[in-house]
Chains A and B, each alone.
Chain A
Amino acid sequence: DTGVSQNPRHKITKRGQNVTFRCDPISEHNRLYWYRQTLGQGPEFLTYFQNEAQLEKSRLLSDRFSAERPKGSFSTLEIQRTEQGDSAMYLCASSLGVKNEKLFFGSGTQLSVL
């Protein structure tokens, strides 16, 4: 069990650029979640997948945000036309998708938009 892996660990970009983050969940986990954590706040739910199906995306912050999980394994989160307000840590988590089971988090990608 190698845990949930997120890359890159840090990303610095200029306003207006597009960025993409990757998340590799624990191998047998069929559910995958994205959260955003801004400074001084708790994580905020964005979206989640059951296998390759995106079951909830209404909480994505704007239409500049999109996520994919094409083969039900790794997932990517893309932010288009980044703004300074997008600066935050983006956390990925995964679970087996059964009741009472634990959610495992990765160490996040810290995004800084200059």
Chain B
Amino acid sequence: AQTVTQSQPEMSVQEAETVTLSCTYDTSESDYYLFWYKQPPSRQMILVIRQEAYKQQNATENRFSVNFQKAAKSFSLKISDSQLGDAAMYFCAYSSPKYSGAGSYQLTFGKGTKLSVIP
């Protein structure tokens, strides 16, 4: 079974600075999907960024980028120019291609990292 580990329960960052959230995972599969989700106090999970394991290029979405190290099974999220609205719980998640190949998303989530942004 796949597992996802987020070793930082809480992180803080000064507004406009950069912060990196860590995630490691365990799998025996060679192809899979990795995600970062944001959960603000409104409770709705919002997709921040996704990475397909067969793509070597790290995904980027505006101020958000990942450092995907497949051999090390590491998938960290970097937030640049942090804004007050970035404060939230951040969850790393894994999806197996046997589920996601047809658009199915049986995600395995980590425990999350609470990010605080200091004005």
Contact = CB atoms under 8 A, between A and B. Distances in A.
Contacts of B112: 40-42
A43 B106 CA distance: 11
Determine the interface band of chain B, counting residues with CB < 8 A from chain A.
20 to 34
Interface of A: 31, 33, 35, 40-45, 48, 55-56, 59, 89, 91, 93, 95-103, 105-108, 110
Nearest to B44: A107
A108 B104 contact: no
A99 B45 contact: no
A42 B4 CA distance: 10
A105 B45 contact: yes
Interface string B78-119: 000000000000010100000011111111111110000000
Nearest to B109: A42
Contacts, number: 63
A93 B109 CA distance: 14
A99 B105 contact: no
A41 B89 CA distance: 11
Given A42-B4, A42-B111, 10 more contacts: A31-B103, A33-B106, A35-B107, A41-B111, A42-B93, A48-B106, A59-B106, A95-B103, A99-B103, A110-B43
Contacts of A95: 103, 105
B56 interface: no
B30 interface: no
Contacts of A42: 4, 91, 93, 109-112
